[in-house]
Amino acid sequence: MRPDPSLDRREFLKAAVALGGVSALSACLDRFEDDPEPVPTGADPDSLPARQFAWNDRLPTDDAGNTVLPRHQTLWYLTLDGDGPPDAGERETVAAALATLDRAYERSNEGLLSLVAYSPAYFERFDDPLPESVDLPRPRALSTFEDPALDEQDALLHLASDRPDVLLEAEEALKGEVDEANGETVEAALTDVFTLDDRRTGFVGDGMPREAAAETQLSGIPEGNPIPEESPLFMGFKAGLKRNQASEDAVTIPEGPFADGTTLHVSNIRQRLDDWYGEQDHDQRVMEMFSPTHVTEDLVPEGSVGTELGDFSGVTREIIDRIEDDALEFGRVGHAQKAARANRDAGGDALLLRRHFESTDDDAASLHFPSLQRGISQFEAVREAMNGADLTQVTPAIRQRVNNGILEYIFTDHRGNFLVPPRDRRALPPAAPDA
Protein backbone atom coordinates (compact mmCIF):
# COMPACT_ATOMS: atom_id res chain seq x y z
CA MET A 1 0.00 0.00 0.00
CA ARG A 2 1.23 3.51 -0.84
CA PRO A 3 0.31 6.79 0.93
CA ASP A 4 -2.20 9.13 -0.73
CA PRO A 5 -0.19 11.26 -3.23
CA SER A 6 -2.55 14.21 -2.70
CA LEU A 7 -1.28 14.70 0.87
CA ASP A 8 1.15 17.52 1.53
CA ARG A 9 4.79 16.65 2.16
CA ARG A 10 4.60 16.32 5.93
CA GLU A 11 1.40 14.29 5.97
CA PHE A 12 2.63 12.11 3.10
CA LEU A 13 5.78 11.22 5.04
CA LYS A 14 3.88 10.55 8.26
CA ALA A 15 1.44 8.31 6.39
CA ALA A 16 4.33 6.44 4.78
CA VAL A 17 5.83 5.60 8.19
CA ALA A 18 2.45 4.46 9.47
CA LEU A 19 1.98 2.15 6.48
CA GLY A 20 5.55 0.82 6.38
CA GLY A 21 6.88 -1.71 3.91
CA VAL A 22 8.66 -1.64 0.57
CA SER A 23 5.79 0.17 -1.18
CA ALA A 24 5.84 3.03 1.32
CA LEU A 25 9.62 3.30 1.03
CA SER A 26 9.38 3.31 -2.75
CA ALA A 27 6.69 6.00 -2.66
CA CYS A 28 8.92 8.17 -0.45
CA LEU A 29 11.90 7.78 -2.75
CA ASP A 30 9.80 8.46 -5.87
CA ARG A 31 8.20 11.61 -4.48
CA PHE A 32 11.38 13.09 -3.05
CA GLU A 33 13.97 11.77 -5.48
CA ASP A 34 15.30 15.28 -6.01
CA ASP A 35 15.83 15.88 -2.29
CA PRO A 36 19.41 17.24 -2.16
CA GLU A 37 20.08 16.24 1.42
CA PRO A 38 22.10 13.01 1.63
CA VAL A 39 21.63 10.80 4.66
CA PRO A 40 24.73 11.02 6.90
CA THR A 41 26.52 7.71 7.21
CA GLY A 42 27.28 5.86 10.42
CA ALA A 43 30.28 4.49 12.25
CA ASP A 44 31.97 1.33 13.45
CA PRO A 45 29.71 -0.06 16.20
CA ASP A 46 32.73 -0.44 18.48
CA SER A 47 33.22 3.33 18.41
CA LEU A 48 29.70 4.10 19.66
CA PRO A 49 28.73 4.77 23.30
CA ALA A 50 28.10 1.84 25.61
CA ARG A 51 24.66 3.20 26.46
CA GLN A 52 22.23 2.38 23.65
CA PHE A 53 19.77 4.89 25.06
CA ALA A 54 22.23 7.80 25.20
CA TRP A 55 20.45 9.85 22.57
CA ASN A 56 20.37 13.32 24.08
CA ASP A 57 23.75 14.52 22.86
CA ARG A 58 22.75 13.53 19.32
CA LEU A 59 19.49 15.50 19.32
CA PRO A 60 18.75 19.22 18.87
CA THR A 61 17.26 21.39 21.61
CA ASP A 62 14.62 24.11 21.51
CA ASP A 63 15.07 27.71 22.64
CA ALA A 64 14.56 26.69 26.28
CA GLY A 65 17.12 23.87 26.10
CA ASN A 66 14.58 21.04 25.99
CA THR A 67 15.59 18.00 23.95
CA VAL A 68 13.64 17.69 20.69
CA LEU A 69 12.88 14.06 19.88
CA PRO A 70 12.98 12.70 16.30
CA ARG A 71 9.74 13.39 14.47
CA HIS A 72 9.09 9.82 13.28
CA GLN A 73 9.34 6.67 15.39
CA THR A 74 8.53 2.96 15.19
CA LEU A 75 8.37 0.21 17.78
CA TRP A 76 8.90 -3.43 16.80
CA TYR A 77 7.64 -6.09 19.22
CA LEU A 78 9.61 -9.27 18.49
CA THR A 79 9.22 -12.94 19.40
CA LEU A 80 11.78 -15.75 19.28
CA ASP A 81 10.79 -19.20 18.10
CA GLY A 82 10.69 -22.01 20.65
CA ASP A 83 10.97 -21.93 24.41
CA GLY A 84 14.67 -22.24 25.19
CA PRO A 85 17.54 -19.79 25.14
CA PRO A 86 18.91 -18.55 21.82
CA ASP A 87 22.03 -20.14 20.34
CA ALA A 88 25.30 -18.60 19.21
CA GLY A 89 24.22 -18.48 15.56
CA GLU A 90 21.10 -16.51 16.38
CA ARG A 91 23.17 -14.14 18.52
CA GLU A 92 25.57 -13.54 15.63
CA THR A 93 22.68 -12.83 13.25
CA VAL A 94 21.16 -10.23 15.57
CA ALA A 95 24.57 -8.61 16.13
CA ALA A 96 25.16 -8.39 12.37
CA ALA A 97 21.71 -6.94 11.66
CA LEU A 98 22.11 -4.20 14.26
CA ALA A 99 25.70 -3.46 13.23
CA THR A 100 24.49 -2.83 9.68
CA LEU A 101 22.30 0.01 10.95
CA ASP A 102 25.20 1.49 12.96
CA ARG A 103 27.41 1.62 9.89
CA ALA A 104 24.68 2.79 7.52
CA TYR A 105 23.27 5.76 9.42
CA GLU A 106 24.74 8.51 11.55
CA ARG A 107 23.61 8.17 15.13
CA SER A 108 21.45 11.30 15.17
CA ASN A 109 18.01 12.65 14.37
CA GLU A 110 19.17 13.20 10.77
CA GLY A 111 20.35 9.59 10.59
CA LEU A 112 18.92 6.93 12.87
CA LEU A 113 18.67 6.40 16.63
CA SER A 114 17.91 2.92 17.88
CA LEU A 115 17.90 0.65 20.88
CA VAL A 116 16.92 -2.95 21.47
CA ALA A 117 15.53 -4.18 24.79
CA TYR A 118 14.46 -7.53 26.28
CA SER A 119 11.47 -8.53 28.37
CA PRO A 120 11.27 -10.52 31.63
CA ALA A 121 9.72 -13.36 29.58
CA TYR A 122 12.84 -13.45 27.39
CA PHE A 123 15.17 -13.77 30.38
CA GLU A 124 13.04 -16.60 31.78
CA ARG A 125 14.33 -18.72 28.88
CA PHE A 126 17.59 -19.09 30.83
CA ASP A 127 18.27 -21.29 33.85
CA ASP A 128 20.08 -18.49 35.72
CA PRO A 129 18.03 -15.51 36.91
CA LEU A 130 18.80 -11.87 36.21
CA PRO A 131 21.24 -10.37 38.73
CA GLU A 132 19.86 -8.42 41.70
CA SER A 133 21.21 -5.23 40.13
CA VAL A 134 18.40 -5.44 37.54
CA ASP A 135 14.88 -4.44 38.66
CA LEU A 136 12.68 -5.92 35.91
CA PRO A 137 9.34 -7.43 37.01
CA ARG A 138 6.77 -8.68 34.53
CA PRO A 139 4.30 -6.00 33.40
CA ARG A 140 0.98 -5.77 35.23
CA ALA A 141 -2.04 -3.55 35.63
CA LEU A 142 -1.00 -0.56 37.72
CA SER A 143 -4.39 0.63 38.90
CA THR A 144 -7.74 -0.84 39.86
CA PHE A 145 -9.41 0.75 36.84
CA GLU A 146 -7.22 -0.48 33.97
CA ASP A 147 -7.01 -3.80 32.18
CA PRO A 148 -4.19 -3.45 29.67
CA ALA A 149 -2.93 -6.11 27.29
CA LEU A 150 0.50 -7.07 28.57
CA ASP A 151 3.35 -6.93 26.08
CA GLU A 152 5.41 -10.00 26.90
CA GLN A 153 7.08 -10.52 23.56
CA ASP A 154 10.79 -11.31 23.85
CA ALA A 155 12.21 -8.03 22.60
CA LEU A 156 11.42 -4.47 21.64
CA LEU A 157 13.25 -2.47 18.97
CA HIS A 158 12.82 1.32 19.03
CA LEU A 159 13.81 3.27 15.90
CA ALA A 160 13.65 7.06 15.56
CA SER A 161 14.59 9.59 12.88
CA ASP A 162 13.53 12.90 11.42
CA ARG A 163 13.84 11.17 8.02
CA PRO A 164 10.90 8.86 7.17
CA ASP A 165 12.89 7.40 4.28
CA VAL A 166 15.64 6.39 6.71
CA LEU A 167 13.18 4.77 9.06
CA LEU A 168 11.49 2.82 6.27
CA GLU A 169 14.76 1.75 4.66
CA ALA A 170 16.19 0.60 8.01
CA GLU A 171 13.09 -1.50 8.61
CA GLU A 172 13.33 -3.09 5.18
CA ALA A 173 17.00 -3.87 5.86
CA LEU A 174 16.05 -5.54 9.13
CA LYS A 175 13.54 -7.65 7.22
CA GLY A 176 16.08 -8.54 4.55
CA GLU A 177 13.99 -6.87 1.85
CA VAL A 178 16.83 -4.67 0.54
CA ASP A 179 20.47 -5.50 -0.17
CA GLU A 180 21.83 -2.14 0.92
CA ALA A 181 20.96 0.49 3.52
CA ASN A 182 22.34 3.96 2.74
CA GLY A 183 25.04 2.27 0.66
CA GLU A 184 25.97 -0.23 3.38
CA THR A 185 25.64 -3.94 2.55
CA VAL A 186 22.95 -5.60 4.63
CA GLU A 187 24.72 -8.45 6.40
CA ALA A 188 21.77 -10.15 8.07
CA ALA A 189 18.06 -9.80 8.68
CA LEU A 190 16.71 -9.44 12.19
CA THR A 191 13.62 -11.34 11.07
CA ASP A 192 15.79 -14.40 10.38
CA VAL A 193 15.80 -14.81 14.17
CA PHE A 194 12.69 -12.96 15.35
CA THR A 195 9.08 -12.91 14.25
CA LEU A 196 7.70 -9.37 14.05
CA ASP A 197 4.69 -9.71 16.35
CA ASP A 198 3.56 -6.09 16.22
CA ARG A 199 4.67 -2.85 14.61
CA ARG A 200 3.56 0.43 16.17
CA THR A 201 4.28 3.88 14.81
CA GLY A 202 4.13 7.48 15.88
CA PHE A 203 5.29 11.05 15.57
CA VAL A 204 6.03 14.11 17.67
CA GLY A 205 6.52 17.72 16.72
CA ASP A 206 4.88 21.11 16.98
CA GLY A 207 1.66 21.12 14.97
CA MET A 208 1.74 17.47 13.94
CA PRO A 209 -1.19 16.30 16.15
CA ARG A 210 -3.50 19.02 14.84
CA GLU A 211 -2.53 18.16 11.27
CA ALA A 212 -3.14 14.48 11.92
CA ALA A 213 -6.58 15.24 13.31
CA ALA A 214 -7.43 17.52 10.39
CA GLU A 215 -6.34 15.23 7.60
CA THR A 216 -7.35 11.81 8.83
CA GLN A 217 -10.50 10.19 10.18
CA LEU A 218 -9.28 9.64 13.73
CA SER A 219 -11.61 8.42 16.42
CA GLY A 220 -11.70 10.53 19.58
CA ILE A 221 -11.11 13.90 17.92
CA PRO A 222 -13.84 16.47 18.72
CA GLU A 223 -15.69 18.58 16.19
CA GLY A 224 -13.81 21.66 15.08
CA ASN A 225 -10.38 20.20 15.83
CA PRO A 226 -9.53 22.33 18.91
CA ILE A 227 -5.98 20.93 19.21
CA PRO A 228 -3.69 24.00 19.37
CA GLU A 229 -1.62 24.63 16.27
CA GLU A 230 1.69 24.72 18.16
CA SER A 231 1.09 21.70 20.35
CA PRO A 232 3.40 18.69 19.90
CA LEU A 233 0.87 16.43 21.67
CA PHE A 234 -2.84 15.73 21.22
CA MET A 235 -3.73 17.00 24.71
CA GLY A 236 -2.52 20.47 23.83
CA PHE A 237 0.54 21.10 26.01
CA LYS A 238 4.29 20.65 25.80
CA ALA A 239 5.86 17.90 27.90
CA GLY A 240 9.29 16.44 28.57
CA LEU A 241 10.72 19.73 29.81
CA LYS A 242 14.41 19.50 30.62
CA ARG A 243 14.28 20.04 34.40
CA ASN A 244 11.42 17.57 34.71
CA GLN A 245 13.38 14.85 32.97
CA ALA A 246 15.94 12.56 34.56
CA SER A 247 19.41 12.79 33.10
CA GLU A 248 20.74 9.79 31.19
CA ASP A 249 23.24 9.29 34.04
CA ALA A 250 20.40 9.14 36.55
CA VAL A 251 18.62 6.30 34.72
CA THR A 252 21.74 4.22 34.08
CA ILE A 253 22.16 0.92 35.92
CA PRO A 254 25.41 1.61 37.81
CA GLU A 255 26.79 -1.85 38.49
CA GLY A 256 26.63 -5.52 37.62
CA PRO A 257 26.81 -7.25 34.23
CA PHE A 258 24.23 -4.86 32.77
CA ALA A 259 25.98 -1.67 33.94
CA ASP A 260 25.46 1.09 31.36
CA GLY A 261 22.05 -0.38 30.64
CA THR A 262 18.67 0.83 31.87
CA THR A 263 15.08 -0.34 32.14
CA LEU A 264 12.34 0.65 29.74
CA HIS A 265 8.60 0.74 30.34
CA VAL A 266 6.36 1.33 27.32
CA SER A 267 2.63 1.97 27.56
CA ASN A 268 0.19 2.62 24.75
CA ILE A 269 -2.50 5.01 25.94
CA ARG A 270 -5.74 5.91 24.16
CA GLN A 271 -6.99 9.45 24.73
CA ARG A 272 -10.61 10.63 25.02
CA LEU A 273 -10.02 13.99 23.47
CA ASP A 274 -13.63 14.82 22.65
CA ASP A 275 -14.36 15.05 26.39
CA TRP A 276 -10.97 16.58 27.27
CA TYR A 277 -11.73 19.50 24.97
CA GLY A 278 -15.53 19.36 25.04
CA GLU A 279 -16.17 19.23 28.77
CA GLN A 280 -13.50 21.65 29.99
CA ASP A 281 -12.21 25.12 29.29
CA HIS A 282 -8.54 26.09 29.11
CA ASP A 283 -8.18 26.82 32.83
CA GLN A 284 -9.72 23.50 33.81
CA ARG A 285 -7.39 21.64 31.46
CA VAL A 286 -4.40 23.51 32.92
CA MET A 287 -5.49 22.65 36.46
CA GLU A 288 -5.79 18.97 35.62
CA MET A 289 -2.63 18.75 33.52
CA PHE A 290 -0.38 20.79 35.86
CA SER A 291 -1.95 22.15 39.11
CA PRO A 292 -4.51 24.69 40.29
CA THR A 293 -1.63 27.06 41.09
CA HIS A 294 -0.80 27.18 37.39
CA VAL A 295 -4.17 28.86 36.87
CA THR A 296 -4.17 31.19 39.88
CA GLU A 297 -0.69 32.42 38.92
CA ASP A 298 -1.44 32.38 35.16
CA LEU A 299 1.61 30.23 34.40
CA VAL A 300 0.00 28.82 31.22
CA PRO A 301 -2.15 31.65 29.84
CA GLU A 302 -5.12 31.20 27.53
CA GLY A 303 -3.95 30.15 24.08
CA SER A 304 -0.60 28.85 25.32
CA VAL A 305 0.64 25.28 25.02
CA GLY A 306 3.04 25.84 27.93
CA THR A 307 5.91 27.45 26.07
CA GLU A 308 6.13 30.14 28.78
CA LEU A 309 7.20 27.46 31.24
CA GLY A 310 10.58 27.19 29.51
CA ASP A 311 12.49 24.17 30.76
CA PHE A 312 10.50 23.53 33.98
CA SER A 313 6.87 22.56 34.50
CA GLY A 314 6.57 24.93 37.43
CA VAL A 315 5.58 22.13 39.82
CA THR A 316 7.56 23.22 42.85
CA ARG A 317 7.89 21.52 46.22
CA GLU A 318 5.30 23.94 47.57
CA ILE A 319 2.80 22.95 44.86
CA ILE A 320 3.41 19.27 45.58
CA ASP A 321 2.91 19.78 49.32
CA ARG A 322 -0.35 21.69 48.95
CA ILE A 323 -2.09 19.01 46.88
CA GLU A 324 -4.65 18.15 49.58
CA ASP A 325 -5.40 21.84 50.12
CA ASP A 326 -5.90 22.17 46.34
CA ALA A 327 -8.26 19.22 46.36
CA LEU A 328 -10.35 20.88 49.07
CA GLU A 329 -10.25 24.40 47.62
CA PHE A 330 -10.59 23.69 43.89
CA GLY A 331 -12.07 20.19 43.75
CA ARG A 332 -9.34 19.26 41.26
CA VAL A 333 -5.68 18.25 41.36
CA GLY A 334 -3.04 18.22 38.66
CA HIS A 335 -1.50 15.27 36.82
CA ALA A 336 2.05 16.68 37.04
CA GLN A 337 1.45 17.70 40.66
CA LYS A 338 0.49 14.12 41.60
CA ALA A 339 3.21 12.33 39.65
CA ALA A 340 5.95 14.60 41.04
CA ARG A 341 5.28 13.23 44.52
CA ALA A 342 7.15 10.05 43.49
CA ASN A 343 9.21 11.30 40.56
CA ARG A 344 11.80 13.25 42.53
CA ASP A 345 14.94 12.17 44.38
CA ALA A 346 16.11 13.69 47.68
CA GLY A 347 17.64 16.60 45.80
CA GLY A 348 14.47 17.30 43.84
CA ASP A 349 15.70 15.88 40.53
CA ALA A 350 13.44 13.71 38.33
CA LEU A 351 13.89 9.92 38.34
CA LEU A 352 12.21 9.07 35.01
CA LEU A 353 13.33 10.00 31.49
CA ARG A 354 10.19 10.07 29.32
CA ARG A 355 10.32 9.95 25.53
CA HIS A 356 6.67 9.81 24.56
CA PHE A 357 5.21 10.40 21.13
CA GLU A 358 1.77 10.39 19.53
CA SER A 359 0.20 7.83 17.24
CA THR A 360 -2.62 7.37 14.77
CA ASP A 361 -2.31 3.58 14.64
CA ASP A 362 -5.70 1.91 14.09
CA ASP A 363 -7.10 5.36 13.20
CA ALA A 364 -7.26 6.35 16.87
CA ALA A 365 -5.51 9.19 18.69
CA SER A 366 -3.13 7.56 21.15
CA LEU A 367 0.17 8.01 22.91
CA HIS A 368 3.19 5.71 23.02
CA PHE A 369 4.87 6.28 26.38
CA PRO A 370 8.45 4.97 26.67
CA SER A 371 9.96 5.74 30.08
CA LEU A 372 13.57 5.03 31.07
CA GLN A 373 14.60 4.55 34.72
CA ARG A 374 17.11 2.55 36.75
CA GLY A 375 14.42 0.12 37.85
CA ILE A 376 10.83 -0.60 36.90
CA SER A 377 9.81 -0.13 40.56
CA GLN A 378 10.53 3.58 40.13
CA PHE A 379 8.07 3.77 37.24
CA GLU A 380 5.44 1.84 39.18
CA ALA A 381 5.79 4.20 42.16
CA VAL A 382 5.22 7.22 39.93
CA ARG A 383 2.17 5.55 38.39
CA GLU A 384 0.78 4.84 41.87
CA ALA A 385 1.23 8.50 42.82
CA MET A 386 -0.49 9.46 39.56
CA ASN A 387 -3.46 7.24 40.44
CA GLY A 388 -4.16 9.61 43.34
CA ALA A 389 -6.24 7.04 45.22
CA ASP A 390 -5.32 8.78 48.51
CA LEU A 391 -6.87 12.03 47.27
CA THR A 392 -10.30 10.45 46.92
CA GLN A 393 -10.31 10.28 50.73
CA VAL A 394 -9.75 14.02 51.05
CA THR A 395 -12.95 15.22 49.40
CA PRO A 396 -15.81 13.59 47.47
CA ALA A 397 -15.11 16.07 44.68
CA ILE A 398 -12.06 13.97 43.77
CA ARG A 399 -13.04 10.56 42.47
CA GLN A 400 -10.88 7.80 41.11
CA ARG A 401 -11.11 9.12 37.56
CA VAL A 402 -12.90 12.43 37.95
CA ASN A 403 -11.17 15.74 38.75
CA ASN A 404 -8.11 13.56 39.43
CA GLY A 405 -5.56 14.87 36.95
CA ILE A 406 -6.07 13.52 33.45
CA LEU A 407 -7.19 10.02 34.43
CA GLU A 408 -10.70 10.57 33.08
CA TYR A 409 -9.30 11.09 29.61
CA ILE A 410 -6.64 8.39 29.20
CA PHE A 411 -6.93 4.58 28.96
CA THR A 412 -3.99 2.21 28.95
CA ASP A 413 -4.26 -0.34 26.14
CA HIS A 414 -0.83 -2.02 26.48
CA ARG A 415 1.99 -2.21 29.01
CA GLY A 416 5.43 -3.77 28.71
CA ASN A 417 8.68 -3.83 30.71
CA PHE A 418 12.12 -4.34 29.19
CA LEU A 419 15.84 -4.24 29.97
CA VAL A 420 18.00 -2.15 27.65
CA PRO A 421 21.41 -3.85 27.90
CA PRO A 422 24.68 -2.05 27.18
CA ARG A 423 25.66 -2.03 23.53
CA ASP A 424 28.18 -4.88 23.82
CA ARG A 425 25.41 -7.13 25.21
CA ARG A 426 22.52 -6.01 23.01
CA ALA A 427 22.45 -9.18 20.87
CA LEU A 428 20.34 -11.75 22.74
CA PRO A 429 22.14 -11.48 26.10
CA PRO A 430 21.99 -14.31 28.64
CA ALA A 431 20.29 -13.50 31.94
CA ALA A 432 23.54 -13.93 33.86
CA PRO A 433 26.39 -12.97 31.50
CA ASP A 434 29.07 -13.42 34.16
CA ALA A 435 27.83 -16.79 35.43
Q: Which of 26-30, 304-308, 323-327, 389-393 has the weakest average pLDDT?
A: 26-30
Using the predicted structure, report yes or no on whether residue 91 has a pLDDT greater than 70. yes
Using the predicted structure, report yes or no on whether residue 33 has a pLDDT greater than 90. no
**Is 340 within 8 Å of 320 (Cβ atoms)?**
yes
pLDDT (mean) for 161-178: 96
Helix axes 164-174, 88-104, angle to 10 degrees: 160
Using the predicted structure, report yes or no on whether residue 2 has a pLDDT greater than 90. no
Distance of CA 265 to the CA centre of its chain: 9
pLDDT (mean) for 109-122: 98
**Is 110 within 8 Å of 39 (Cβ atoms)?**
yes
Q: Which of 18-22, 254-258, 289-293, 379-383 has the weakest average pLDDT?
A: 18-22
Q: Which of 87-96, 109-118, 271-280, 310-319 has the weakest average pLDDT?
A: 271-280
Burial class (CB in 10 A: 0-12, 13-18, 19+), 289: buried
Q: What is the pLDDT of residues 35-68, one digit of tens each?
A: 668 999 999 999 999 999 999 999 999 999 999 9
Amino acid at 400: Q
Top pLDDT among 81 and 355 is at: 355
Q: What is the pLDDT of residues 292-336, one digit of tens each?
A: 999 999 999 999 999 999 999 999 999 999 999 999 999 999 999
Using the predicted structure, report yes or no on whether residue 34 has a pLDDT greater than 70. no
Q: Give the torsion sign (CA, 246, 248, 253, 255).
A: negative
pLDDT (mean) for 208-226: 81
Q: From CA 236, how far away is CA 234, in angstroms rounded?
A: 5
Quick one: pLDDT at residue 412?
A: 97
Using the predicted structure, report yes or no on whether residue 403 has a pLDDT greater than 70. yes
Quick one: pLDDT at residue 183?
A: 96
**Is 203 within 8 Å of 357 (Cβ atoms)?**
yes
Quick one: pLDDT at residue 7?
A: 72
Q: How many CB atoms lie within 10 A of CB 255?
A: 9
Task: Please give the share of the chain, as a percent, with pLDDT higher than 70.
Answer: 96
- Rounded mean pLDDT of the chain? 93
Quick one: pLDDT at residue 149?
A: 98
Quick one: pLDDT at residue 32?
A: 64
Top pLDDT among 22 and 272 is at: 272
Quick one: pLDDT at residue 164?
A: 93
- Through-space distance between the first and last CA atoms of the chain, rounded to whole angstroms: 48
| 80: enclosing H helix or E strand | strand 72-80
Quick one: pLDDT at residue 220?
A: 72
Quick one: pLDDT at residue 19?
A: 77
| 358: enclosing H helix or E strand | strand 357-359
Q: What is the pLDDT of residues 206-215, one digit of tens each?
A: 999 998 888 7
Using the predicted structure, report yes or no on whether residue 27 has a pLDDT greater than 80. no
Using the predicted structure, report yes or no on whether residue 114 has a pLDDT greater than 70. yes
